[in-house]
């Protein structure tokens, strides 16, 4: 198979990290692939070296420099997709996330087969028009939903055929935290050896709810708990500034750390934490929950979608009430050892989402619908 993968920003979001893992798996199993990105994010450097990369930005596209080719294309976004198709000649397009409806429109107009991989729940459809939502649901020859929660949204929109659940994956080969760094990282933030560290990962946006993250941190600190909260991931926006200012004005600024986007040391920071709290309103899957489980960390989360599909007895707790008091109570009980956590159960469950497991299923689905 020859597949053209269309992605948005090539940044370290869950949907694009998951796709990067699948692309590695595909290439290692004989698939020929190219990647076309709207923006040239850092994730492009983590793709297999033999995968051609096209970047559309400021009315231009570039092919990976080491391939020895760089040109400029004037025109609109459809000109870009047409150029990618003409130069790579894929068997089909793979459109990652619903936030690229123009790719699906163009595939439909040119009668090109395509796959839509939907990582979203219903709130994200606010970002596309009704007409585009209809095209997203009706045209792709195959839709892959990132969880059963995502699947139900797509079914509600009318998709009742050629739709499959395909969970994102982690690549255990890339999760190699340095245990010796735990003490070093704690010292960097002046965290005591006995301090309980809570972590969350994601962009600083209203859905991930960093405001709640700050609020629950303040409540636990006010009640005298020896805790520190770290947030991995960032967003250069006024909202991100607002949330950081909330922490600064809380009176506990030294106990709430926003660490920004991490790459090489992301898993070191996550491994330094004692547990993960997921504050999101909506999570179609939650890659950080799998990463945390793989690292042997308990998880506390509201029942926000895909997280409940991941957790098993002994991995943490999912709160149904959407009441911060209940969330804080569960966090306190976990810190006190009143909630059972079994590291082996967590790591075995995370293993079910390894790239060798999910990648095999993913490639089998593509072969089923599009041939070998």
What pLDDT does residue 88 have? Answer: 93
**Residue carrying structure tokens 């330094």:** 272
**pLDDT per residue over 164-179, tens digit each?**
999 999 999 989 899 8
- 201, with CB counted inside 10 A (0-12, 13-18, 19+), is buried
Q: Where does CATH 3.40.50.2000 sit in the chain?
A: 2-169+354-370, 173-351
Q: Whose CA is closest to 169, among 312, 20, 4?
A: 20
CA atoms of 136 and 97, how far apart (whole Å): 10
Q: How far apart are CA 182 and CA 315, in angstroms?
A: 22
| pLDDT average, residue stretch 146-168 | 94
Instruction: Specify the pLDDT at position 75.
Output: 36
Q: Which of 74-78, 106-110, 193-197 has the lowest mean pLDDT?
A: 74-78
Residue 222 above 50 pLDDT? yes
pLDDT at 196 over 90: yes
In the numeric block, the tokens 């075995």 are attached to: 348
Tell me the per-residue pLDDT of 323-370, one tens digit each, with 9 for 90 and over: 999 999 999 999 999 999 999 999 999 999 999 999 999 999 999 999
Q: What is the model's pLDDT at position 268?
A: 96
Contact call for residues 135 and 95 (beta carbons, < 8 A): no
| Residue found by looking up tokens 């055929």 in the block | 161
Mean pLDDT, range 139-163, rounded to an integer = 94
3-state secondary structure 190-255: CCCCCCEEEEEECCCCCCCCHHHHHHHHHHHHHCCCCEEEEEEECCCCHHHHHHHHHHHCCCCHHH
Q: What is the CA radius of gyration of the chain?
A: 21
Sheet containing 142-145: order of strands: 60-63, 53-57, 32-37, 2-7, 92-96, 114-118, 142-145, 163-165
pLDDT at 70 (0 to 100): 32
Q: How far is CA 134 from CA 71, 101, 138, 155, 166, in A?
A: 35, 10, 6, 12, 22
Whose CA is closest to 136, among 312, 127, 232? 127
**How far is 269 from 262, CA to CA, in rounded Å?**
9
pLDDT in the model for residue 372: 62
Output the six-digit token pair for 72. Answer: 């400029």
Name the 3-class secondary structure at 317.
strand
Continuous segment of H or E residues that includes residue 103: helix 101-109
Residue 99 or residue 333, greater confidence? 333
The percent of residues in the chain predicted with pLDDT above 90, rounded, is 73
- pLDDT higher than threshold 60 for residue 311: yes
Note the pLDDT of residue 57. 60
Q: Which range among 72-86, 131-145, 197-211 shows the weakest confidence by mean pLDDT?
A: 72-86
Tokens of 66: 């080491």
| Contacts of 338 by beta carbon, 8 Å cutoff, 6+ apart | none
pLDDT (tens digit per residue) in 24-82: 999 999 999 999 988 778 888 889 999 999 887 633 434 443 333 333 333 344 578 88
CA distances from 206 to 101, 249, 268, 286, 321 (A): 23, 19, 26, 16, 19
Average pLDDT of the chain, as a whole number: 90
Distance in angstroms (rounded) separating the CA atoms of residues 307 and 278:
9
Give the phi and the psi of residue 258 in degrees, each rounded to 5.
Answer: -100, 110
- 7 three-state secondary structure: strand
Q: Which of 16-25, 222-231, 232-241, 274-283 has the lowest mean pLDDT?
A: 232-241
Higher pLDDT, 216 or 79: 216
CA distance 44 to 272: 27
Higher pLDDT among residues 275 and 69, named by residue: 275
Residue 244 in tokens = 């950081």
CA distance 261 to 236: 10
User: Is domain 2-169+354-370 given the CATH code 3.40.50.2000 in the classification?
Assistant: yes
Q: Which CATH superfamily is domain 173-351 in?
A: Glycogen Phosphorylase B; (3.40.50.2000)
Edge-to-edge strand order for the sheet containing 316-319? 256-258, 227-232, 196-201, 275-278, 299-302, 316-319
Tokens standing for residue 63: 């092919």
In whole angstroms, give the CA distance from residue 117 to residue 164: 10
């Amino acid at each position: 198979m020859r597949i053209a993968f269309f992605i948005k920003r090539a940044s370290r979001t869950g949907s694009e990290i998951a796709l990067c893992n699948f692309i590695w798996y595909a290439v290692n199993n004989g698939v020929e692939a190219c990647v076309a990105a709207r923006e040239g994010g850092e994730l492009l450097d983590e793709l297999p070296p033999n995968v051609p990369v096209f970047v559309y930005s400021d009315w231009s596209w570039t092919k990976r420099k080491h391939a020895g080719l760089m040109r400029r294309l004037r025109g609109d976004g459809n000109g870009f997709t047409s150029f990618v198709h003409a130069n790579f000649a894929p068997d089909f397009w793979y459109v990652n996330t619903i936030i690229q409806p123009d790719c699906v429109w163009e595939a439909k107009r040119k009668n090109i087969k395509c796959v839509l991989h939907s990582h979203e729940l219903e709130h994200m459809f606010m970002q596309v028009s009704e007409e585009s939502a209809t095209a997203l649901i009706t045209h792709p020859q195959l839709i892959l939903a990132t969880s059963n929660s995502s699947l139900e949204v797509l079914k509600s929109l009318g998709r009742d055929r050629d739709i499959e659940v395909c969970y994102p994956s982690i690549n255990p080969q890339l999760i190699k935290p340095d245990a010796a760094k735990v003490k070093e990282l704690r010292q960097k933030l002046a965290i005591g050896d006995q301090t309980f560290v809570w972590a969350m990962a994601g962009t600083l946006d209203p859905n991930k709810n960093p405001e709640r993250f700050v609020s629950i941190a303040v409540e636990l600190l006010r009640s005298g708990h020896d805790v520190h909260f770290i947030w991995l991931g960032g967003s250069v926006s006024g909202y991100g500034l607002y949330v950081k200012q909330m922490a600064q004005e809380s009176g506990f600024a030294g106990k709430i750390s926003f660490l920004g986007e991490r790459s090489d040391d992301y898993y070191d920071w996550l491994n330094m934490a004692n547990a993960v709290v997921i504050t999101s309103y909506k999570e179609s899957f939650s890659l950080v929950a799998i990463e945390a489980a793989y690292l042997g960390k308990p998880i506390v989360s509201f029942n926000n979608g895909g997280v409940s599909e991941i957790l098993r007895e002994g991995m943490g707790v999912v709160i149904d009430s959407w009441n911060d008091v209940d969330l804080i109570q569960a966090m306190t009980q976990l810190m006190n050892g009143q909630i059972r956590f079994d590291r082996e159960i967590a790591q075995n469950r995370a293993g079910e989402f390894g790239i060798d497991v999910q990648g095999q299923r993913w490639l089998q689905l593509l072969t089923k619908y599009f041939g070998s």
